[in-house]
Structure 1
Amino acid sequence: MTEIPKGPQGLNLGYSTPHPFSLIPLSSRESMQALLTSLLDPLLPFFSPLKSRIKCPGATAVRFDQSASEVEGICRPLWGLACLLAGGGSYHATGHWIEGIRNGVDPDGEEYWGYPRDNDQRMVEMCPLGFALAVVPEIWEGLGEKGRRDLENWLGNSVNEKNMPDTNWLWFRVFANLGLKKNGGKYSQERLDRDIEHLETFYRGEGWSNDGPEGIHQMDYYSSSFAIHFLQLLYAKLAGEDEPARAAEFKKRAQMVALDLAHYYDEEGRSIPFGRSVGYRFAMVSFWGAIAYADIELPAPLTWGMVKGIVLRHLRWWQTQHDMWTSSGTLTIGYSYPNMYMAENYNSPGSPYWACLAFIALAVPATHPFWTSQEESHWPVLPPIKPLPQPGHIMVNLGTHTFLLSSGQACSYPMKGTHAKYGGFAYSSSYAYSVPPGLFTLEQYALASQLGLSDDGGEYWKTRRLSTSHLATSPDGTTPHLVSEWNPFPDVHVKTYLLPPVPGPTENYHLRVHFIHAEGREVMTADGSFAICNESTLRESKGRYLDLWDETKGEGTSPKLIGNYDLATPEAWADGERGAFAVHRTKGAVGIRALEGERKRRANLVNADPNSNLVESRTTIPTLQGTVKKGEKVWYVSGIYARPGGDPNEFLGGWEKVPEVPGWLREVIEQSS
């Protein structure tokens, strides 16, 4: 096994001490085993005395009880540990988990996990536990006779009697029963079958399942890597002999959806952050290890070299994210750095270890072509633009930029930042989405790739959350686009068209067109581009906010970026047609400009509040602002520019190459004006 570089004793990360996770040259199965070990070792000091719980650093509360939070802490790493052991690997502290499970399910013990109630978080953690039992028989044997009986009562009898949310959670009960079944324990085949039959009602076609029943449109990473597709593939592998028809159907869906999901990962390995629970980080890539684990025949033109490349490049990118750890070496709540603003109310300090799903590839034999193939890039063979009807996305890989346009999705229940996680117009692998760290002025709302409307002079803003939408094609059949209708206020109506770039000179632009009818009130509008890092890399100003654009230095903003307290400064504003942009020497360029002609909006740089963005803790957002008077009907046409890669001296090379509004859309605008 690849040796893990040793940090200071006790893994106390200091000012410049890298995490061992970042120091492992990742290219092989052995190195990936070492990567997992570097993730598990920092947890060991945080086991409870009887090993049944892990209390990860961070005293944050969640919507469920503290005991369940600590059960989460011990169970989620089982995704990785079980995969390691199932693939023939070993881990020096495996006994901690076996001892912990035995004590955790002992109803008379001091560290009993507690009997699950309806909709209990403990049910979620039964899924990695059930999977571990199914693939690592040593765990079951190591519990002893009493421990096995206690586990049957806790894992089987309790969960089969309780209500569960009508979501991907139902898969967790399936795996609780499956783990017992694989070991000859007491389980409910009737409940298992009934849950899968109900989960089948989530299927929408073309390989895609929704995270919920009819009437909910929520197809994020839970539909692929976090839960549904991932668990379908594990089930096909583990129960395929008993249910060959169902296993074949799950594999067929994976083949169909694989050609869609490949579009969510760029050449550097980054995935496009979208939706909730992105704090699970590298779990975003677990689907690809699962198709290898389930022995899927890849659909052309995908190859195992491409699949391997998606997984390993993704993990390598995370190796560069040095701020995602606590000083003790455990994962934080957040994305590229600790961030409670983007966290859901179910994110405890142990929650991020759902990321261990990514290590399903370790359960794949070393002889599988996933491991024996040379890494390849999947992008030369995929179409640069692909509409996906089921999730309501148009996938784009043009001009060094991988991103998606989105309409119509919404979380089915109240969630912090839900409008930013689902209602944004575009989501990028290079420029992650932003969430509001506060609810007062544009700086706090951080409207990256969103249109905000305010009826109180700019203090509070409403954005797209719920919308009716459809994927359409231009009359000549050449241009896919998304159309959504939404009401930020009951008497203000918006219709938004999202058009992907056109390959060629203007391919760094996509179009966002809004028809706004301010029927009952006057509204201010703010249309934001992507958010970009607001920290200079230049020697003389390194770490400070970006200065005014200087062509000789290849960095800066136009117009001038100002603070949050001097918004009336004239040089901070530009004509909307001229637009606003920001250029960063390593992150690229983003911008926005008004293309509607006679309607005059103004452009500026919104200095977003710190920690609003998932990847960059300091960002600025080029923005167009205007006003629609009460009773007015107006059209806004925004060109959104982004070029994250290539020659830094050419980041703005396409800025002046403005796209045209296609003729069919010009006719729509003219007919309704």
Structure 2
Amino acid sequence: MPALPGFTDNPFQTRSDLVRASAALLNPLEQYKSPQKAFIKLSTDTAAGFDEISAQLEGFARPLWAIASLLAPESSADGLGLDVDSWVCGLQAGTDPTSSEYWGDLGDFDQRMVEMESIAYALLMAPATFLSGMDAVARENLERWLRQINGRKMPQNNWRWFRVLVNLALGSQEEEVVVQDLKMLDSFDLGEGWSSDGLWGSERKQADYYSGSFAIQFARMLYVRFMEDRGLASDDRSRVERYKLEARQFASGFWRYFDVDGSAIPYGRSLTYRFAFAAFWSAVAIAGVQLDEPLKNIGVVKGLILRHLRWWRKQPGIFNSDGTINIGYAYPNMFLSENYNSPQSVYWCLKSFTILCLPESHPFWTSKELPHPLAARPLRAQPSLDEVKLLWPPRHILCGGRSHHFLLSSGQGTTKTHRAREAKYGKMAYSSFFGFSVPSGALLEQMAPDSTLTVSLDDGEAWIVRANPFNVRSLQIPILTSDAAAGMGTVARTVPALVSTWRPKKSVEFEVRTTLIPALELWSGWHFRIHKVRWSPAAIEPGPIRLVDAGFAASGVARTGLLCTERELRKLLDQDAVVVEAWGKDEQSCLILSDGSASGVVDLQRDLMFAPRSGGGRLATQSPALLLQADANTNLIRQRTLIPALQHTLVAESESKSAAEMWLATGIFAVSKTSGIDVKEIRELWLKRPKIQVNANPGEEDEIRIVLH
């Protein structure tokens, strides 16, 4: 895709840089405005699940996040060349029931409720611009159209914030409907400042960027900003102060989702909103919330926003040839989209540009940009204890080492009909460099099952991917010296781990209990998965069972443009070349070297120390290493990928009718290009692996330990 001047060449250092980027993003929309300016319809012509009127309303409303910020009283739109009258005219025409471009009356669960949020923001942030030119009839039309949101049914999720902000813009925040909405929204709290997108329960367990930065936490900060502008009653003051406290708590962990180069770990739904990842940081700044260390200096927050935008400027594939933004992540990709994504939906990314409401003289702009909190760490390759952090509300372990920035995940999921929901919530690991993959079909290569478990209960005819694990808990895994493992020493340290259980089918007696263990600097580039597999042979026919445990999807393309080819793994490791672009496998492992990075898996099951008896099950495969050539365009960041994996074939002992049991252990290896680690060091790290010790205690808690050797 072509570069977009003003964005892809933007240094993103000053306020004027962001103004210039806004112009680059907004100007291509002008050609697609309707005659009365109330609609914008891009030329890509794909459809969302809701009506076309709402889709084209999105095109009008979502740019208002940047436009209204630039028109704030103390702000400045100098250099933007903004046609303000166009947006004012569109607002009047869209809310005028006699206009041919009327946006229509609201129904229950109506998409237009979502677009009311940005319109409410415009009225709150720049009322003089949007209201001063309206006569009494136009104002009455606008107010009548907005007030419809109070009489309609809404989902019990982040949408309730849209109604709260609309009523705030209308000056009627004391209405009973708002009181009930705020009560419901507060019930979504998970602790530590986190909120789920709806009540956490069997139908949904979602705590991602949508609740964290796109909607709930973002809207809370807008509420703080605009409520404090008006003066507060005691009850309002109490809520505002609580939201500030929870923002500080949330921020104390949320910064870990951002790598030192500005990239964020993609996870969850609505990833086509792209740099809306940083919207929470913008909202915190405009709300004037003082964060705690290591974010206490506003220059740290400034750096998180600007580095994130710099990362996105390096992704020209996000733009269509006409300069508009496409649906996708690092390139156009409908596989990852949701049913609610119209071509215009993507402009929710402009929530991050709300920072433009702060004038040039504000401390955010005058302060020095400071580096990422982990950027000053010593140049070691893997996280120390301070760089591995368990965040319990989202059920994530954040790993921020130099070799690779990623998270381990267990416990989220949803029964809602979001496309690729299993890929967006059910994988065991997510990476800022490798991204993750979404399915394009039902075959194994089409499922592109990176960083997850996939099971076939019918010997490969149909595959089921990991989703909605249960019995989720955290624990501390001890790391022992070899003397301690023999009972003669002490525990060197511990590392947090996540444990969860998954059943591919509720009606079939087959389950996998997985323990996810991050590594420290002791085993740079690694994390480990220990699976306890239990099944009833009598309940599974015709058998055998296949289980695929996969690593991160790596680029399958060499610098020449040709696909990476296979080489003997031994020769792949013995080469002296500075750059190696190939893949190889042996009996126990598979490794991909490409794009200056490495991704591999190793079967550690044979090396399990004091491994328990199989309990009536055995492995039929002698060489489990597998290389999956994923379908093109399944990965979010790279169009052509290879996935290293292990495939185990599980069978019950002959004539056994009792429950069968197997222990499997997988080492996952990954080093990103951004780490700066060269091929020679990658080879050394690949060969440095621990021993895993499992003590199975029938009827009691199993013990898993890592042994230094």
Q: For 2:497 and 2:158, how far apart are their aligned partners in 1?
A: 30
Is 1:175 aligned with 2:165? Answer: yes
Match of 2:702 in 1: 668
Q: Is the contact made by 2:2 and 2:316 (CA closer than 8 Å) also made in structure 1?
A: no
Is 1:235 aligned with 2:223? Answer: yes
Structure 1 pair 147/256, CA: closer, same or farther in 2 (3 Å)? same
Opposite residue 611 of structure 1, the aligned amino acid is N
Selected match of 1:139 from 106, 114, 130: 130
Q: Is the contact made by 1:273 and 1:433 (CA closer than 8 Å) also made in structure 2?
A: yes
Selected match of 1:451 from 424, 435, 453: 453
TM-score computed with the length of structure 1 as normaliser: 0.90
Selected match of 1:646 from 663, 669, 676: 676
Is 1:40 aligned with 2:74? Answer: no
TM-score computed with the length of structure 2 as normaliser: 0.86
Q: Secondary structure at the match of 2:187?
A: helix
Q: Secondary structure at the match of 1:413?
A: coil
Q: Which runs of 5+ in 2 are unaligned?
A: 378-385, 479-490, 608-618, 653-658
CA RMSD across the alignment: 2.1
Q: Is the contact made by 1:557 and 1:580 (CA closer than 8 Å) also made in structure 2?
A: no
Q: For 1:33 and 1:381, how far apart are their aligned partners in 2?
A: 30
Match of 2:10 in 1: 24
The superposition leaves residues 502-536 of structure 1 with CA deviations (integer Å, 9 ceiling, x where unpaired) of 223x1210001111113232311111100011110
Q: For 2:247 and 2:693, how far apart are their aligned partners in 1?
A: 36
| 1:58 positional shift | 1.6
Q: Secondary structure at the match of 1:39?
A: helix
Q: Is the contact made by 1:453 and 1:463 (CA closer than 8 Å) also made in structure 2?
A: yes
Q: Mapping of 1:111-126 within 5 angstroms?
A: 111-126=101-116
Opposite residue 97 of structure 2, the aligned amino acid is P
Q: Mapping of 1:77-476 within 5 angstroms?
A: 77-86=63-72, 87-90=74-77, 91=80, 92-137=82-127, 138-156=129-147, 158-181=148-171, 189-215=175-201, 216-240=204-228, 241-242=231-232, 243-302=236-295, 303-377=297-371, 378-380=373-375, 383-440=386-443, 442-468=444-470, 469-474=472-477
Count of aligned pairs between the two proteins: 631
| 1:632 positional shift | 3.2
Q: For 2:359 and 2:238, how far apart are their aligned partners in 1?
A: 25
Q: Is the contact made by 2:592 and 2:600 (CA closer than 8 Å) also made in structure 1?
A: yes
Match of 1:594 in 2: 603
The superposition leaves residues 125-183 of structure 1 with CA deviations (integer Å, 9 ceiling, x where unpaired) of 00011011001011122333222111111111x110000000001001111111222xx
Q: For 1:634 and 1:375, how far apart are their aligned partners in 2?
A: 52
Q: Is the contact made by 1:639 and 1:659 (CA closer than 8 Å) also made in structure 2?
A: no
| 1:188 positional shift | 6.5
| 1:311 positional shift | 0.6
Q: For 2:398 and 2:695, how far apart are their aligned partners in 1?
A: 22
Match of 1:581 in 2: 591
Q: Is the contact made by 2:3 and 2:316 (CA closer than 8 Å) also made in structure 1?
A: no
Q: Secondary structure at the match of 2:250?
A: helix
Q: Is the contact made by 2:504 and 2:511 (CA closer than 8 Å) also made in structure 1?
A: yes
Q: For 2:683 and 2:227, how far apart are their aligned partners in 1?
A: 54
Q: For 1:589 and 1:172, how far apart are their aligned partners in 2?
A: 44
Q: Is the contact made by 1:547 and 1:556 (CA closer than 8 Å) also made in structure 2?
A: no
Q: For 1:389 and 1:527, how far apart are their aligned partners in 2?
A: 24
| 1:16 positional shift | 5.4
Choose 369-378 or 522-531, whichever is displaced more. 369-378
Is 1:49 aligned with 2:35? Answer: yes
Q: Is the contact made by 2:502 and 2:513 (CA closer than 8 Å) also made in structure 1?
A: yes
Q: For 1:44 and 1:118, how far apart are their aligned partners in 2?
A: 31
Is 1:497 aligned with 2:515? Answer: yes
Is 1:555 aligned with 2:580? Answer: yes
Opposite residue 564 of structure 2, the aligned amino acid is Y
Q: Secondary structure at the match of 1:20?
A: coil
Q: Secondary structure at the match of 1:24?
A: coil
Q: Secondary structure at the match of 2:178?
A: helix
Opposite residue 503 of structure 2, the aligned amino acid is N
| 1:203 positional shift | 1.0
Q: For 1:75 and 1:647, how far apart are their aligned partners in 2?
A: 45
Structure 1 pair 465/126, CA: closer, same or farther in 2 (3 Å)? same
| 1:389 positional shift | 0.9
The superposition leaves residues 304-356 of structure 1 with CA deviations (integer Å, 9 ceiling, x where unpaired) of 22211111010001001011111111110110111000101001001100000
Q: Is the contact made by 2:452 and 2:551 (CA closer than 8 Å) also made in structure 1?
A: yes
Structure 1 pair 16/190, CA: closer, same or farther in 2 (3 Å)? closer
Q: For 2:210 and 2:266, how far apart are their aligned partners in 1?
A: 12
Choose 332-341 or 205-214, whichever is displaced more. 205-214
Q: Is the contact made by 2:437 and 2:450 (CA closer than 8 Å) also made in structure 1?
A: yes
The superposition leaves residues 274-333 of structure 1 with CA deviations (integer Å, 9 ceiling, x where unpaired) of 000011000001111111111111202222222111110100010010111111111101
Choose 52-61 or 313-322, whichever is displaced more. 52-61
Q: Secondary structure at the match of 2:205?
A: coil
Q: Secondary structure at the match of 2:105?
A: coil
Is 1:510 aligned with 2:488? Answer: no
Q: For 2:16 and 2:461, how far apart are their aligned partners in 1?
A: 54
Choose 239-248 or 187-196, whichever is displaced more. 187-196
Opposite residue 109 of structure 2, the aligned amino acid is N
Structure 1 pair 25/358, CA: closer, same or farther in 2 (3 Å)? same
Opposite residue 335 of structure 1, the aligned amino acid is Y
Q: Secondary structure at the match of 1:124?
A: helix
The superposition leaves residues 561-612 of structure 1 with CA deviations (integer Å, 9 ceiling, x where unpaired) of xxxxxxxxxxxx6312xx10111143x1110000010764511211100000
Q: Is the contact made by 2:48 and 2:342 (CA closer than 8 Å) also made in structure 1?
A: yes
Match of 1:568 in 2: none
| 1:663 positional shift | 6.4
Q: Is the contact made by 1:51 and 1:96 (CA closer than 8 Å) also made in structure 2?
A: yes
Q: Give % identity.
A: 37
Match of 2:611 in 1: none
| 1:268 positional shift | 0.6
Larger radius of gyration, structure 1 or 2? 2
The superposition leaves residues 418-468 of structure 1 with CA deviations (integer Å, 9 ceiling, x where unpaired) of 11100000011011010001112x210101100100123324211221111
Q: For 1:206 and 1:664, how far apart are their aligned partners in 2?
A: 34
Structure 1 pair 204/525, CA: closer, same or farther in 2 (3 Å)? same
| 1:662 positional shift | 5.3
Q: Is the contact made by 1:274 and 1:422 (CA closer than 8 Å) also made in structure 2?
A: yes
Choose 91-100 or 337-346, whichever is displaced more. 91-100
Q: For 1:534 and 1:353, how far apart are their aligned partners in 2?
A: 31
Structure 1 pair 557/288, CA: closer, same or farther in 2 (3 Å)? same
Opposite residue 393 of structure 2, the aligned amino acid is Q
Is 1:526 aligned with 2:542? Answer: no
Is 1:545 aligned with 2:564? Answer: yes
| 1:543 positional shift | 4.0
